[in-house]
Chains A and B, each alone.
Chain A
Amino acid sequence: MNAPPGRPAHPDPAEGATLPGQPDHAVKIRTQRLSRVVKGVAIVNDVSVDVFHQEVMAVVGPSGAGKTSFLRLINRLDEPTRGTVFLDGVDYRTIPPRVLRRRVGMVMQFPYLFPGTVADNIRFAPLQRGEEISDEEIDRLLAQVDLPGYREREVSQLSGGEAQRVSLARTLANSPEVLLLDEPTSALDDKAKASVEALIVRIIREQKLTCLIVTHDNAQALRMANRAMVMEKGRLVKVGPVQEVLDAESVLP
């Protein structure tokens, strides 16, 4: 297991988007020898890592390193072929998958909104557990993602950045404890990228979420994360404070 970080990665965040969060040292997510082998290829190979309460962990590495595959194991969208994940110390195989996925929300690279209105998308997840959320609640969620007045918009009319915000609001409607972000800004243009990133950072901080973010953008990892884990060929090769890990990475040939 990895030792808890002795101090936050950014004791003095000068930039607005930097997370100052002093991680609570309790482990929120623990992956234990997590592996997934598909057709004889280990796409995630023996990854053991701890993510602490309210910590933001960046998952970095070259493309094809298994970052997304690793993330998909954490909300059990794929099944580990070996190892497991503990959520608050509980083996996630004992948690019903739907309950697990509400607690561990995910925002994907593409928003994948359901056809219909913005409100339809936000109502979707609560409806799945028999809860109808009010228009006021929807407006509140939309305000959080800086889309006031978008409730009755058709999703087909939204820009990429707007759609990704709706996708985030839709996930937040489940009140998750953990947020998995799979390159949430990589499909956006630069302007939308910056504002969505700032929005995510604000929400993580306000809602005290624990977060794993897959990114290929080291600058984004530095802006958003406390720690970083580097994956290569399915393996975890390094984990530590984001600055140290990424500095070491950048001097590699």
Chain B
Amino acid sequence: MLNQFFREPITLGLAQAAAVTLLSLGVMFLARRQNIHLEREILVALARGFVQVVAVGAVLVFVLQGPWALGLLVLTAMLVAAAFTARRRVTTIPQALTVALLGIGAGAGTVILTMTWLGVIDPALTSLIPVGSMIIANAMNTCTLALERFRAEIESHTGLIEAGLALGADPRAIVRPYVQAAVQASMIPRIDSLRSLGIVWIPGLMAGMILSGTDPVYAAIYQFVIIAMIFATSGITALVSVLAVRGRIFTPAEQLILRP
């Protein structure tokens, strides 16, 4: 209906955005009637989300025509931003920023670089940046999940951990079960998304490719490629993040720092 009135892609987009904003506001009022007061959060989030993503789109207009190195620069900036975001979510973890940078950098960095080199990710910026950002965003979520779970495991087992230390044990050996639990827990959502691919959900990228006229089978295969890359990224990120933080929750004299 809207496209009958708006021909220009930008104005059409704005009209579509207005429509979904109305829908969201409707949801907000519905929530309000149930005494769920999220008005402020919802309004701020809507406005922020719109401005941010449009700003990125505007920047992309220039970036996508830029040289290859610019893509790396943009991805690096995203990676650093992701590490800062992850740190904010896990405030009690010692040296969280370093840990997040290591984890996200190792996971997203390794996968983006090797897959671009192999030609799985098209080095053209129109492909590298969106795919890269997806990988980085997932690395960030995995990093947060893994660190959060690790923190919870440590904090709920301080007695056992200190009993182990008091017996003269290697701190790494004592926390091994918690490392395993954290890495596993943070990877389960990725395994689930691989398993339910196509049945429970048709992910955004595939939907987008089909919308823009790509052969659905190629779009499907490429979606698998993306999810598998995200899976690999998560695995590396979770392992590196947790192993990086493992050494940081003890002092050099092997005393437990992280406590409830």
B171 to chain A, nearest CB (A): 9
CA–CA, A75 to B254, complex, Å? Answer: 11
Beyond A112-B160, A114-B160, A128-B173, whether A76 also contacts B253 by CB under 8 A is yes
Chain B residues, Cβ within 8 Å of A102: 167-168
A125 within 8 A of B: yes
Q: Which of B166, B168, B173, B255 contacts A79 (CB 8 A)?
A: B255
The B132-167 residues at the A interface (CB cut-off 8 A) are 159-160, 162-167
| A107–chain B nearest beta-carbon distance, Å | 9
Q: Is A108 in the interface zone, CB < 8 Å from B?
A: yes
Given A108-B159, A128-B173, verify A76-B167 contact (CB < 8 Å).
no
Count B-side interface residues using an 8 Å CB cutoff.
16
Q: Are A101 and B168 in contact (CB under 8 A)?
A: yes
Indicate with 1 or 0, residue by residue over A111-130, a CB within 8 angstroms of chain B CB atoms. Answer: 11110000000001100110
- Please tell me if A78 contacts chain B, counting CB pairs below 8 Å: yes
Contacts of B35 in A (CB 8 A): none
Q: How many A-B residue pairs have CB under 8 A?
A: 64
User: For the complex, is B169 an interface residue (Cβ under 8 Å from A)?
Assistant: yes
CB distance from A183 to the nearest CB of B (A): 14
Chain A residues near B251 (CB-CB < 8 A)? 79
Residue B41 interfacial (CB < 8 Å): no
Distance in angstroms from B232 CB to nearest chain A CB is 32
User: Does B8 sit at the interface, judged by CB under 8 A?
Assistant: no
**A171 CB → nearest B CB, Å:** 7
B254 and A97 contact, CB distance less than 8 A? yes
In the complex the two chains form, is A101's CB within 8 Å of B160's CB? no
| Contact A128-B168, Cβ < 8 Å, known A76-B253, A78-B255, A97-B254 | yes
Q: Is the CB of A77 within 8 A of B166?
A: yes
Chain A: interface size category: 20 to 34
Given contacts A97-B254, A128-B173, contact A75 B166 (CB under 8 A): yes
> B170 — nearest CB in chain A belongs to which residue?
A128
B165 and A77 contacting across the interface, CB-CB below 8 Å: yes
Most buried by A among B167, B173, B253, B254: B167
Q: Contact check: which of B159, B166, B253 meets A105 at CB < 8 Å?
A: B166
Q: Closest residue to A170 on the B side, CB-wise?
A: B167
- Contact, CB under 8 Å: A125 / B168: yes
Contacts of A150 in B (CB 8 A): none
Within B233-260, the residues touching A (CB, 8 Å) are 251, 253-255
Contacts of B170 in A (CB 8 A): 98, 128
Q: Which residues of B lie under 8 Å from residue A99 when comparing CB positions?
A: 168
B167→A101 contact, CB < 8 A: yes
Q: Please name all residues of chain A whose beta carbon is closer than 8 Å to the beta carbon of B168 when the two chains form the complex.
A: 97-102, 125, 128-129, 174
A99 to B168, CA, bound (A): 6
A19, CB-defined interface residue at 8 Å: no
| A174 and B167 form a contact (CB under 8 A) | yes
Enumerate chain A residues within 8 angstroms of B162, measured Cβ to Cβ. Answer: 77, 108, 112
Q: Is residue A230 contacting chain B, with contact meaning CB distance below 8 A?
A: no
A125 engages B159 (CB within 8 Å): no
Q: Give complex CA distance A100, B166 in Å.
A: 9
Residue among B168, B251, B253 with the most chain A CB within 10 A?
Answer: B168
Minimum CB–CB distance from B22 to chain A (whole Å) comes to 51
Among residues of B, the one whose C-beta sits closest to the C-beta of A104 is: B166
With A77-B162, A108-B159, A112-B159 as given contacts, are A125 and B169 in contact (CB-CB < 8 Å)? yes
- In the complex, how many angstroms separate the beta carbon of A205 from the nearest chain B beta carbon? 22
Q: Which residues of B contact A112 (CB under 8 A)?
A: 159-160, 162-163
Q: How far is the CA of A98 from the CA of B168 in the complex (A)?
A: 4
A216 to B80, CA, bound (A): 53
Q: Could you tell me the distance in whole angstroms from the C-beta of B188 to the nearest C-beta in chain A?
A: 22
Report B-chain residues with C-beta under 8 Å of the C-beta of A110: 159
Of B160, B163, B255, the most chain A CB neighbours within 10 A belong to: B163
How far is B254's CA from A102's CA once the two chains are assembled, in angstroms?
13
Partner of A128, one of B159, B167, B253: B167
Q: A: which residues have CB within 8 A of B? A: 75-79, 93, 97-102, 105-106, 108, 110-114, 124-125, 128-129, 167, 170-171, 174
4 closest A-B pairs (Cβ-Cβ)?
A112-B163, A102-B168, A125-B167, A106-B166
What are 17 of the A-B contact pairs (CB < 8 Å)? A77-B165, A77-B255, A78-B255, A97-B254, A100-B168, A112-B159, A112-B162, A112-B163, A113-B163, A125-B167, A125-B168, A128-B169, A128-B170, A128-B173, A129-B168, A171-B167, A174-B167
Given contacts A79-B253, A97-B254, A128-B169, 17 further A-B contacts (CB under 8 A): A76-B253, A77-B166, A78-B255, A97-B165, A98-B170, A101-B168, A112-B160, A112-B162, A113-B163, A114-B160, A124-B164, A124-B169, A128-B170, A128-B173, A129-B168, A167-B163, A174-B167
